[in-house]
Chain A
Amino acid sequence: MDFFEEYKGYPNYEKAAIHDEAHGKVVRKKLWMVFWIMLVITIAELIIGSQFHFSEINKEYTFIFLTLVKAFFIVWIFMHLGDERRAMKYAIIAPYTLFIFYLAFMAITEGVYSKVIRDALVSMVLHQ
């Protein structure tokens, strides 16, 4: 029921978002700030990627962390999810927060496990 109540007011949403010149200046300053942060992170990633030679697992965690930081800025500031209604915010963010853990588990644990199985099978066949 709530959903339809909200939807009735929805076409006016954008009119509520209209702001004046002074507020625009503040918003623009924030946006450029975010741009510089993202640029610095990207350059750091490139330098780490092409110059440093970490151990594989440290590299993975560093890059995934930096990527998540960038993703946060895009979703929260650029897509202004931070300004949406609370219920909607968490309806979108919560499943993906869980999904990221699942993805990491799938890729790292399960992938390595099936590599172990595969290597074992290959060596079994070779030694027969």
Chain B
Amino acid sequence: MFMWFFLVSDALTFSSLLCAYGFMRHKFAGDWAVPNDVFTHFPFLHGDHPLAYVGFMTFDLIMSSVTMVLAVEAGHRLNKRQVAMWLFFTIIGGFIFVGSQCWEWYHFITGEASNQQYREYWMNGKHIIDPHFQGANLIVNAYTQLPTFGDFFFCITGFHGFHVFSGVIINIIMLIMVLNGVMEKRGHYEMIEKAGLYWHFVDLVWVFVFTFFYLL
């Protein structure tokens, strides 16, 4: 119940961020970047693959949500081995997601430029004046003339990524507790349920971020 209180207040933070994003998105409707042109990379593949990688990330997070709910269900049957197994899969899914987000940020920040080229942009301060600047940061980005686009991207996906990361840490703590038989001694797996609520919340937020950032 108190987990729900926390989630409700946390949801307000996210909805205010998304609300601000929606406001700015409409205010600068004509000049905003088209997500299909920005997020086109896919690991180990060249060329344009709009939305493919975010699609994969969404699938990964939904999948890890399902494994989490299966862990909770196994907890209801007091099956220690299955709880540990599903929690482990959830943690793997979480790490894949955080890693994907790092990868995505890297490509958003450097754009088409190589790492070395980008470093030169940054070191020489060329990122402010160079019209051929590739990539993005808080001051300027190559996708649109508005710094707001990059700012919102970093702020909201960063905040969400931080939630995912802390969720993974919580899940790891839960896994260690399960393996040590703490839950067994208590006679119930309520803590798994609470960690699960947090994890589903992270998934829920991503569903919204995915829609507003990558689809619209």
Q: Which of B11, B73, B201 contacts A27 (CB 8 A)?
A: B73
Q: Check B172 for interface membership: any CB of A closer than 8 A.
A: no
Number of interface residues of A (CB under 8 A): 56
CB-CB under 8 A from B193, the residues of chain A are 14, 17
How near does chain B come to A67, taking the closest CB pair, in angstroms? 4
CB-CB under 8 A from A86, the residues of chain B are none
CB-CB under 8 A from A108, the residues of chain B are 22, 26
Q: Which of B11, B26, B28, B211 contacts A45 (CB 8 A)?
A: B211
Residues of B within 8 A of A (CB): 1, 4, 8, 11, 15, 18-19, 21-29, 36, 50-52, 55, 58-59, 62-63, 65-66, 68-70, 73-74, 76-78, 187-190, 193, 196-197, 200-201, 203-204, 207-208, 211, 214-216
How near does chain B come to A63, taking the closest CB pair, in angstroms? 5
Smallest Cβ-Cβ distance to A36: which chain B residue = B66
Whether B59 contacts A14 by the Cβ 8 Å rule is no
Residues of A within 8 A of B (CB): 10, 13-15, 17-21, 24, 27-28, 31-32, 34-35, 38-39, 42-43, 45-46, 48-50, 56, 59-60, 63-64, 66-67, 70-71, 74-75, 77-79, 88, 92, 95-96, 99, 102-104, 106-108, 110-112, 114-115, 118
